[in-house]
């Protein structure tokens, strides 16, 4: 498999061929190998691929748009996105955050992943630091590397809540962004408004004397997947230097269609120039613009009762698995949002070095695929995605019972 190595950039070659294990790839290959072998179903809880289909309203909106005789709707538009779509999004975000958000603060992006890369390229110099609470979405490492920046990880408090002091301790003159993801992948934690306000106060103190403020980047693709239906708390209201990102990969089940957006807080000084930089980076990084048809569907779908997936399906699966695991001695936070569970292993297994990896292997032998916590820098845990279907959830739970019961 080394043939062709000389054709690759050193960084990519080292990542693909290096000794450092990629858990994503390992899980993916194991699942593929199991499926190829045959011998019954594979219970794959390793991927955060939304199993709920886009709502019927979305399908209907697309039919309508395709029959719309307006010319030019599939051409390039300004790199920030269609003006009428950005106006629609701005109005909703203004209401959500009670801030004077306008179309000028919105950049439509190729999913949230596209948005984060655009933002980092626009804002970071090589050597700048991005502070992130543990555990975090492992792709952040790559996104920071793309901009030549350094990811600095900070521990969280009990129950994976924000540890404001731990974050503040890790600030350096090179810290430019604080990247938070709430509801969190992988932990499922939802940061409270109280904690976010405390963080805002601490950052304002830290900003005194700095040439530019520390900017909070909220990566919030699960924001509308709270199990109680209330929107997750945000720093948009309490910290002026906040940039918020989201996508419709999960709430509309459109992960493969690549539609998301960036919202710049209208209270950030220099928001006009930031918006120009985001549009510019959308262009020069090769995204050019968010897919046109997906943009135009949003005003026809969002905010309607029939314009979202049924979160209760994910919530029910989360509760079912959490109860089953608790009965086996796992320590599981009550799931509040999204579809990830991040249970701590039972005491006996938790303290064992490599206990999460050993359990992952035992579950694999039972045709069940999970990700060990060590992949997120938190050994002694497993990450389980309840975006799999009911059969996978039941099959995996039975496997847990055989292995740990």
Site for its own copies in 212-271 (CB under 8 A): 212, 215, 253-258, 268-271
Give yes or no for residue 197 binding its own copies (CB under 8 A). no
Binding residue for its own copies, selected from 103, 122, 171, 232, defined by CB under 8 A: 122
Cβ at position 245, least distance to its own copies in Å? 11
Joined together, the tokens standing for residue 295 give 């943009």
What's the closest the beta carbon of residue 62 comes to its own copies, in angstroms? 5
Positions 271 through 330 that interact with its own copies (CB under 8 A): 271-274, 276-277, 280-281, 283-289, 291-294
Q: Is 72 left (phi over 0), alpha (psi -120 to 50) or beta?
A: left
Question: DSSP 3-state assignment of 130?
Answer: strand
Q: Which is nearer to its own copies, 143 or 330 (CB)?
A: 143
Q: 49 or 331: whose CB is closer to its own copies?
A: 49
The three-class DSSP label of residue 151 is strand
Nearer to its own copies, 161 or 242 (CB): 242
Which is closer to its own copies, CB of 115 or CB of 188? Answer: 115
Q: In 331-370, which positions are buried (b, 16+ CB within 10 angstroms) versus exposed (e)?
A: ebbebbbbbbbbbbbeeebbeeeebbbebbebbbebbbbb
Residue ranges in 11-50 that form contacts with its own copies under rule CB under 8 A: 11-13, 15-17, 47, 49-50
Residue 63 is a binding residue for its own copies (CB under 8 A): yes
CB of 239 to its own copies, least distance (A): 14
Centre a 10 Å sphere on the Cβ of residue 267 and count the other Cβ atoms it contains. 14
Which long-range contacts does 56-60 make (Cβ < 8 Å, 24+ apart)?
56/306, 57/300, 57/301, 57/304, 57/306, 57/307, 58/252, 58/254, 58/297, 58/301, 58/307
Q: Which is nearer to its own copies, 297 or 332 (CB)?
A: 297
Task: Kindly state whether residue 6 participates in binding its own copies, applying the rule CB under 8 A.
Answer: yes
Taking each helix axis from N to C terminus, what angle separates 390-404 and 355-365, rounded to the nearest 10 degrees?
Answer: 110
Report the Cα 283 to chain-centroid distance in Å: 23
387's enclosing H/E stretch is none
Q: List the beta strands (DSSP E) in 75-187.
A: 106-109, 129-133, 150-154, 175-180
Instruction: Identify the residue among 42, 89, 110, 131 touching its own copies (CB under 8 A).
Output: 110
Which of the residues 134 through 153 are near its own copies (CB under 8 A)? 139, 142-143, 145-147
Question: By rule CB under 8 A, what count of residues binds its own copies?
Answer: 83
Q: Which helix (H) or strand (E) holds 1?
A: none
Q: How far is the CB of 188 from its own copies (least distance, A)?
A: 20
Which pairing describes strands 340-341 and 260-264: parallel, antiparallel, or unpaired?
unpaired
**Of 33, 35, 41, 53, the one binding its own copies by CB under 8 A:** 53
Q: Which is nearer to its own copies, 155 or 291 (CB)?
A: 291
* Candidate list 59, 165, 303, 365; residue touching its own copies; CB under 8 A: 59
Q: Rank residues 216 and 399 by Cβ distance to its own copies and give the closer one.
A: 216
For its own copies, the binding residues in 66-95 under the rule CB under 8 A are 66, 71-77
């Amino acid at each position: 498999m080394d043939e062709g190595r000389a054709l690759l950039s050193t960084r990519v070659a080292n990542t693909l061929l290096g000794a450092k294990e990629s858990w994503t790839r390992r899980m993916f290959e194991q699942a593929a190998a199991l499926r190829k072998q045959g011998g019954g179903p594979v219970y794959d809880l390793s991927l955060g691929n939304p199993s709920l289909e886009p709502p019927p309203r979305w399908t209907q909106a697309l039919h309508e748009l395709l029959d719309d005789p307006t010319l030019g709707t599939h051409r390039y538009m300004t790199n920030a996105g269609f003006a009428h779509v950005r106006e629609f999004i701005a109005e909703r975000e203004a209401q959500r955050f009670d801030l004077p958000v306008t179309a000028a603060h919105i950049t439509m992006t190729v999913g949230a992943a596209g948005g984060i890369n655009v933002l980092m390229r626009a804002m970071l110099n090589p050597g700048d630091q991005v502070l992130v609470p543990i555990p975090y979405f492992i792709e952040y490492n790559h996104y920071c590397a793309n901009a030549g920046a350094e990811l600095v990880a900070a521990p969280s408090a009990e129950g994976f809540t924000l540890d404001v002091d731990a974050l503040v301790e890790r600030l350096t003159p090179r810290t430019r962004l604080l990247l938070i993801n709430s509801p969190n992948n992988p932990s499922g934690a939802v940061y409270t408004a109280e904690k976010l306000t405390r963080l805002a106060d601490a950052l304002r103190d830290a900003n005194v004397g700095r040439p530019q403020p520390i900017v909070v980047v909220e990566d919030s693709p699960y924001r509308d997947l709270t199990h109680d239906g209330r929107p997750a708390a945000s720093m948009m209201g309490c910290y002026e230097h906040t940039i918020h990102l989201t996508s419709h990969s999960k709430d509309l089940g459109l992960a493969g269609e690549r539609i998301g957006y960036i919202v710049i807080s209208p209270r950030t000084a220099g928001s006009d120039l930031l918006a120009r930089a985001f549009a510019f980076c959308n262009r020069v990084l090769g995204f050019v613009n968010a897919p046109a048809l997906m943009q135009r569907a949003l005003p026809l779908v969002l905010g309607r009762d029939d314009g979202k997936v049924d979160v209760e399906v994910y919530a029910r699966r989360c509760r079912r698995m959490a109860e089953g695991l608790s009965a086996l001695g796992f320590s599981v936070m009550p799931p509040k949002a999204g579809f990830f569970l991040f249970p701590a292993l039972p005491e006996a297994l938790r303290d064992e070095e490599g206990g999460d990896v050993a359990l992952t292997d035992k579950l694999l032998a039972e045709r069940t695929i999970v990700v060990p916590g060590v992949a997120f820098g938190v050994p002694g845990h497993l990450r389980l995605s309840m975006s799999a279907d009911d059969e996978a959830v039941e099959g995996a739970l039975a496997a847990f019972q055989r292995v740990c019961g």
